[in-house]
Structure 1
Amino acid sequence: MSIQDSLEKIRPALQTRVANSLARGAGVRENFQEQLGRFLDLIAQALVSGDASWLDPILEEWSNARTQTDLQQGERNLSGLLHQVITYSLELGREMLSEADALELVAGLMPIYLHAVEKAAALENESRLQYVSNELQSAQIRLKKLDKSKSNFVAVAAHELKTPLTLIEGYAAMIGDLAAQENEQMHMLIQGTHNGIRRMREIVDDMIDVSQIDNHLLVLNFQPLWLNRLFNMLQADFTNIIGQRRHTLEIRPFAGSEELLFADPERLYQALKNLVSNAIKYTPDGGKIIIDGRILSGFVEVTITDTGIGIAPENQEVIFEKFGQLGDVSLHSSGKTKFKGGGPGLGLAITKGIIEAHQGSVWVESEGYDEVKCPGSTFHVLLPQRTQPSDPNLAKLFGAGENSPAQLPDDF
């Protein structure tokens, strides 16, 4: 008996067994048997021609017919179908053919089946890869929308909070003016109200800053400044807090700290203040904070080093993201300088936005997180060494950076 005749002999039983095994329901089985019949016709053609590629079109058709749900759940895969066809072909050959005819049929079918299995595996891998790629792209789109929604919420919430906060602040000031000066208890209550309002305004201002950074609306006002003057202002502003926490704040003079730079003094001070505040917050009482720096090619580097609890390597980028919170949020406590005190998680994100708006960069180095050994952290701020403003009119006004400190405001 020829191989073609052997295949025709087992074909009806083969179609029935494969259909009963893989298809559920009479209607489904009928349609499946029709498709399976086409497949077996092509196998017969491949046997006659000796070319297994006759199966490629129907395998591609079946692969393309799989839905997203099929791909997600791993159903209707070609490999499973081919496995059943091969298994039942071998079984029926043993049951219905002589040993010699069965061996001849298997020898003829195996190269065709192997080609089909390889082709099916390649098609399935391609489909799966495309599915995963589409899912990843969809996830990225959803994340962008979520991030945009969060940014929009921050912007709207900040502006919505600003108006009632201004009213509360005004009425609190009026109450303070009306309260009798000798009423110490009333004065204490009003002072507490003012402190709460001031902290709330700081948070609202931070939210507005984050919104401006996210939407590329942060405007810098470049002016001449000297870093050592900013450092002196930081030391003056943190004197009381440093004393309360028994910290030491050491400011080391370095090449470049007394040289004129053009930057936005208020924004740069805000960025450095956030870094010092962060160092105070995560350094146990009695610790030390050092402000230092150096000149690099075309840049000035400022470093703020603390003897605090450190930052784990996996969190050294997370802390610069907005709302980046480390540790257990359930243990959160408000406070800008209290040890491990919480906050909305905006300060370092704002610092990063301000420094990058200056075409600089900021990063942190730490051996890791350890509340016992306190390995500390070092924050690096890299600023372009601008010695004259980019605006030609300002360059004329300030003499292209040749002004002496006596000719410029003393604030910076």
Structure 2
Amino acid sequence: MLNTSRGISFVLALAIALLVVAFLSLLDEASFILILVAGGLAFSSAYLLITITLEFLVFREIGNIYTMLEKIQKKDLSEISDKKSKSSISPLRKINAVINSYAVARQKEIDALQKNAEFRREFIADISHELKTPIFATQGYIHTLLDGAIDDKQVRMKFLKRAAKSLDSLDNLVQDLLTLNQMESGVIKFVFEDFDLKEVIEEVMEELEHKASKRKVQIDFKYEADKNYITHADRQKIYRVCQNLIFNAVKYNHDKGEVIIGLKAHKNHIQVDIKDDGQGIPPEDLKRIFERFYRVEKSRNKKEGGTGLGLAIVKHILEGHKSKISVSSTVGKGSIFSFSLPLVKESNPENP
């Protein structure tokens, strides 16, 4: 009986009523009926107030705490909310709020661990697949030569060139992996300097001119000749960013397509837009294209080559410059990749 709010309220209310009756019985003016009515009123009001107090301020909050602890014990934290509890005079509600906050924090940690575990599984599967392809190809060519094809000079040279190409792909993959890992761990330092971003883009265009001409892809560079495009950044790494983005714009474009590179100088920054009219990227893939080894079309990407790490490296380089890479795309119409860098304003010769 005493383990419920009503049982405790009954005992306490009875005790209060008896005290009231005992006190009134000491008064000569108090009649029996008055004492009886006062005792009844004291018992009723005390019982009601104590029941409400215990039920809403104590027992209900204790029940919530037990429910919370059971969910934590069962690791069922899916329905726990991180909303702040309303202010209350009950200290138990504050305890409940603390436990709730703790449970929410633990749930977030669990979610993060699960995502990391999933990422590790995907990463191991992806890197195994990427390493397997050039290794198996090289093994096939070499074993074929060892089985007797080495005596045929024409076959020998063809297979050796293919094996060398596969090993070059493997080397590029390993180098990109090392670069990405060093960027994430902070081993690679950025060397900032002032340089002309327009000249860097022109160098990249000159490097990719042969590849673009093989597919008859036209690369147009649009900028205002009278504007200043001096920025403060790591020239070598920004060169790699431009190289990767322009290379992708050519690679994933259609034959006789067009790539437009736009360079705009704003008040405090320079914006670079690289637009192609190729196959485009589906909306469901846009959020994942900067992940390691993520490929929109695995078969075509394999055919075109590449390590699947280029955009991930681009993202980390720009983050190191406190910038971000953005992309918008329409399937069948093409994509636009954009990023910005700080603009170094030209000093006045009269007042440097």
Does 2:54 match 1:54?
yes
1:379 maps to what in 2? 337
Q: What do the CA deviations read for 1:235-292 (whole angstroms, capped 9, x no partner)?
A: 3332333233332222234348875444333211211111112223332333211112
Name which of 94, 113, 117 aligns with 1:142.
113
1:133 aligns with 2:96: no
Structure 1 residues 186 and 237: alpha-carbon distance in aligned structure 2, compared to 1, 3 A threshold? farther
The alignment status of 1:38 with 2:21, answered yes or no, reads: no
Matched residue pairs, number?
A: 278
Aligned pair partner of 2:266 in 270, 274, 296:
296
Aligned position for 2:86: none
Structure 1 residue 131 displacement after superposition:
7.5
The CA deviation at 1:313 is: 4.7
TM-score, normalised via structure 1 length: 0.55
Trace 1:102-141 onto structure 2 (pairs within 5 A).
130=101, 133-141=104-112
1:362 aligns with 2:332: no
Q: 1:311 to 1:126 in 2, by over 3 A?
A: farther
Instruction: Give secondary structure in 2 for the equivalent of 1:254.
Output: coil
1:206 maps to what in 2? 176
After superposition, the Cα gap between the structure-2 partners of 1:191 and 1:73, relative to the gap in structure 1 and judged at 3 Å, is closer
1:302 to partner: Cα distance: 1.4
> Would you say 1:194 and 2:198 are equivalent positions?
no
Secondary structure at the aligned position of 1:238 is classed as helix
Structure 1 residue ranges without an equivalent (≥5): 1-33, 75-118, 173-179, 389-399, 403-412
- Cα 1:222/1:190, change in 2 over 3 Å: farther
Write the distance in 2 (CA, Å) between the matches of 1:183 and 1:225.
51
Counterpart of 1:299 in structure 2: which amino acid?
H
TM-score by length of 2: 0.63
Corresponding residue for 2:216?
A: 246
For 2:175 and 2:227, the matched residues in 1 are separated by: 29
1-structure distance, mates of 2:163, 2:214: 22
Could you tell me how far apart the structure 2 residues matched to 1:282 and 1:245 are? 11
Match of 1:65 in 2: 66
Farther off after superposition, 191-200 or 47-56: 47-56
Q: Residue type matched to 2:340 in 1?
A: L
The unaligned stretches of length 5 or more in structure 2 are: 14-43, 79-89, 143-149
- After TM superposition, give the deviation of residue 186 of structure 1 in Å: 2.9
User: Aligned partner of 1:378: which letter?
Assistant: I
Could you tell me which residue of structure 2 aligns to residue 114 of structure 1?
none
CA 1:139–1:359 in structure 2 vs 1: closer, same or farther (change >3 Å)? same
Q: C-alpha distance in 2, partners of 1:57/1:256?
A: 76
Question: C-alpha deviations, 1:22-42, integer Å up to 9, x for none?
Answer: xxxxxxxxxxxx78x534404
Taking a change above 3 Å as real, the CA distance of residues 73 and 147 of structure 1, as seen in their structure-2 partners, is closer
CA distance in 1, matches of 2:206, 2:65: 71
Which among 178, 188, 206 is matched to residue 218 of structure 1? 188
What SS is found at the alignment partner of 2:289? helix
C-alpha change, 1:349 and 1:70, in structure 2 (3 Å) is: closer
1:211-360 paired onto structure 2 within 5 Å: 211-255=181-225, 259-313=229-283, 315-326=285-296, 331=299, 333-335=301-303, 338=304, 344-360=307-323
Contact in 2 for aligned 1:322/1:349 (Cα 8 Å): yes
What pairs up with 1:392-407 in 2 under 5 angstroms? none
Give a deviation string over 1:338-392, Cα, whole Å, max 9, x none.
3xx6x553211111211222333321123x3x2xxx232111120112479xxxx
In the alignment, what sits opposite 2:146? Answer: none
